[in-house]
Structure 1
Amino acid sequence: MAYGISTYAYFWRISARAPRPLTLLDMFQDTRDLCGEVFQICDYPDIETYDDARLADLRAAAADLGLTLELGTRGVRPAHLLRYLDLAAKLGVTLVRSMTNTADHRPGTDEAIALLADSVPAYADAGVTLGLETYEQVSTDDLLTVVRAVDDPHFGVVLDPGNSVARLERPADVVRATAPHVVNIHVKDFAFTRRDGWVGFTYAGCPLGEGLLDHQGMVDTVRPDERGIHQIVEHWLPWQDDGFDATARLEHQWTQHSIKTLKRSK
Structure 2
Amino acid sequence: MAYGISTYAYFWRISSRAPQPMSLTDMLRDTARLGGQVFQICDYAPIESYEAARLADVRATARDLGLRLELGTRGVRPAHLLKYLDIAGELGVSLMRSMLNTTDHRPDSAEAVTLLKQTVPRYADAGVTLGLETYEQVSTEDLLTVVRGVDDPHLGVVLDPGNSVARLERPVDVVAATAPYVVNIHVKDFAFTRRDGWVGFTYTGCPLGEGLLDHDGMIAAVRAARPEDHGSINQIVEHWLPWQDEGFDATAQLEHQWTQHSIDTLLRSK
TM-score band, normalised by shorter chain: over 0.9
CA distance in 2, matches of 1:196, 1:82: 48
Match for residue 163 of structure 1? 163
CA distance in 2, matches of 1:74, 1:186: 15
Aligned residue runs from structure 1 range 186-197, under 5 A: 186-197=186-197
List structure 1 segments (4+ residues) > 2 angstroms apart after TM superposition.
224-227
CA distance in 1, matches of 2:47, 2:135: 23
Summarize deviations over 1:167-226 as a string: whole Å, max 9, x none: 000000000000000000000000000001111000000000000000000010002884
Match for residue 61 of structure 2? 61
Match for residue 100 of structure 2? 100
Match for residue 264 of structure 1? 268
Identity %: 79
Match of residue 255, structure 2, among 238, 251, 256? 251
Match for residue 121 of structure 1? 121
1:205 aligns with 2:205: yes
Give the number of equivalent residue pairs.
266
Q: TM-score normalized by structure 1?
A: 0.99
Aligned residue runs from structure 1 range 13-162, under 5 A: 13-162=13-162
Structure 2 stretches of 5 or more lacking a match? none
1:242 aligns with 2:233: no
Structure 1 stretches of 5 or more lacking a match? none
Counterpart of 1:68, as a letter, is: R
CA distance in 2, matches of 1:141, 1:24: 35
Q: TM-score normalized by structure 2?
A: 0.98
Secondary structure of residue in 1 paired with 2:75: coil
CA distance in 2, matches of 1:116, 1:45: 22
Secondary structure of residue in 2 paired with 1:61: helix
Counterpart of 1:2, as a letter, is: A
Shift of 1:47: 0.3
Summarize deviations over 1:53-85 as a string: whole Å, max 9, x none: 100000000000010000000000000000000
Counterpart of 1:252, as a letter, is: H
Match for residue 218 of structure 1? 218
CA distance in 1, matches of 2:255, 2:245: 14
Match for residue 174 of structure 2? 174
CA distance in 1, matches of 2:215, 2:77: 33
CA distance in 2, matches of 1:110, 1:148: 11
Shift of 1:228: 1.6
